[in-house]
Structure 1
Amino acid sequence: TSPTPLTTTIMTTALMLKLGVAPMHLWYPEILQGVTMNVALIITTWQKIAPITLLLLLQNHLTTMLLMLTGLASALIGGFTGLNQTQTRKIMAFSSIAHTGWLMMTLPLAPPLTTLTLITYIIMTTATFTALNTTTMKTITDTNTAWTSSPTLLTLTMLSLMSLGGLPPLTGFMPKLLILNDLITKNLAPLSTALAMA
């Protein structure tokens, strides 16, 4: 038997809480700020695999509107709130919230694209956390001291951060372009425009 709409909504909400999707994201930045870099890496990558897999398996029973609204809210909140941060872990937390929003937006429309985006996100996040851990950067102002000790590593850190931001021609741009294209082909251009501004 298929699950009832109420059951599906409750389960989806619980999974979105675990993923740190807006408006249930308030715990996420504070936890990431308080843990070590290695634990933060696990929370931002490994912790997302099981809930996203469950959502993909339940995809035919999910409320598309709920996923779209929370996805858009996450992308906007994660994108704009992250601009105001100086702590590297909080920047990564809001980046994770924004990326999860992109995943939620594409989940009901193109599950294979969700998988591709998740894999790309995990690779980029792992590279960024590894670089941040190696340079021991805690805040953005630490880039001054990191540059003198290891300019190559700092350059790679900045490139991985820009890739997470989705700047062309870096890797992070590709899934975002594909998601925007998919939304436009499904006649969701206003949603695509709002998401592109995040």
Structure 2
Amino acid sequence: MNPIVSTILISSLGLGTTLTFIGSHWLLVWMGLEINTLAIIPLMMRQHHPRAVEATTKYFITQATASALLLFASITNAWTSGEWSLTEMINPTSATLALTALALKIGLAPLHFWLPEVLQGLDLTTGLILSTWQKLAPFAILLQLHPLLNPNLLLSLGILSTIIGGWGGLNQTQLRKILAYSSIANLGWMITILHYAPNLTLLNLILYIIMTLTTFLLFKTFNSTKINSIASSSTKSPLLSIITLLTLLSLGGLPPLSGFMPKWLILQELTKQSLFIPATIMALMALLSLFFYLRLCYTTTLTMNP
């Protein structure tokens, strides 16, 4: 791709996210999300491969549906309350529609169906942008809307995401699909605690982005897209394989690594709110995620290609 075009597209990604961050009017926020979506589509298709085109088409249809739903929610709220401000969404139906649209945008279960397939069709660089940068704008909206959203719906979406993210990653051999299910599980942890402690959601999001960024860059360095292809990485670069091991275990939430801290704080907050059953389910599902990360760690550091 032409460097000038790449620069324009990446600048547009930054512009779209910035508009969403600073906007307090629904139309400005919606415009920021649309700029984000339209800027990443050419980056996704730059491979000119049938799988990339298919992934881009799926992504575009999903994001267009979510954007239409979000616009409908904001117009409905403006019609009933006369308010276009982001923090004045007083209509419960509009708030639920907005949450559904944002859940579809970021890939929360049960609206996650597009994320593993789309990530699988992309190269690691574009997959990295999709898994990290593209989550920022929707979460900026969610953090502003959190007092107005239904806590039971947030809890249901979060628990379902941790369950599907944990189970979905178990049988995968493709690294990008494993990272997609990891993303769904981590998003579940963030959305569960959003109503009760939004600061923990922000902390979890920052750590998730740092760890996912590191993981994608390491896999790109090893030029690996399947579990088998990272088997000989420990002999090629022992230092990088140790960093990979620590990053993967941190993503899985193994103590005393950094990924364990937000999970522990979230479980503690859920227990304070007397939500013992959701806390127990999420702790058990974290073990499933940890299992497929341990399998990756075993392949990375303790096995070799024949």
Q: TM-score range by the shorter chain?
A: over 0.9
Which residue, out of 1, 4, 7, partners 2:94?
Answer: 7
Counterpart for residue 46 of structure 1: 133
Shift of 1:145: 2.4
Could you give the per-residue CA deviations for residues 136-165 of structure 1, whole angstroms, max 9, x where no partner exists?
Answer: 121111222222211221221122111101
The answer for unaligned runs of 5 or more in structure 1 is none
Match of 2:146 among 39, 59, 63: 59
- Structure with more relative contact order (C-alpha pairs < 8 Å, separation 6 or more): 1
Q: Superposed, which structure 2 residues align to 1:32-111 within 5 Å?
A: 32-111=119-198
**1:135–1:154 CA contact under 8 A, matched in 2:** no
Give 1:1-198 correspondences, 5 Å limit.
Answer: 1=83, 2-3=88-89, 4-198=91-285
Match of 1:58, SS state, is: helix
Q: Distance in 2 between matches of 1:126 and 1:144?
A: 21
Q: Specify the code of the residue in structure 1 equivalent to 2:163.
A: L
Deviation at 1:169, TM superposition (A): 1.1
Q: What is the rounded CA distance, in whole Å, between the counterparts of 1:69 and 1:121 in structure 2?
A: 21
Deviation at 1:116, TM superposition (A): 0.7
- Cα shift readout 1:96-153 (whole Å, capped 9, x = no counterpart): 0000000110101101111111111111111111111111121111222222211221
Letter in 2 for 1:109: Y
Separation in structure 2 between the aligned mates of residue 58 and residue 143 of structure 1, nearest angstrom? 41
> Secondary structure at the residue paired with 1:97?
helix
Amino acid at match of 1:193: T
**TM-score, normalised via structure 1 length:** 0.97
Residues 74 and 97 in structure 1, CA contact (< 8 A), matched pair in contact too:
yes
Task: Report the AA paired with residue 149 of structure 2.
Answer: L
Q: Distance in 2 between matches of 1:165 and 1:138?
A: 19
| Aligned equivalents of 2:110, 2:120: Cα separation in 1 | 19
Contact 1:135 1:153 in 2 (8 A): no
Note if contact 1:76-1:98 (Cα within 8 Å) is conserved in structure 2: yes
Name the SS for the 1:83 alignment partner. Answer: coil
Instruction: Percent identity, please.
Output: 48
Deviations 1:9-28 (A, max 9, x none): 11110000011000000100
The Cα RMSD (Å) is 1.0
Q: How many residues align?
A: 198
Give 1 or 2 for the bigger CA radius of gyration: 2
Structure 2 length normalisation: TM-score?
Answer: 0.63
Instruction: Report the AA paired with residue 87 of structure 1.
Output: Q
* Cα distance in structure 1, aligned partners of 2:161 and 2:277: 17
Q: Which runs of 4+ in 1 moved over 6 A?
A: none
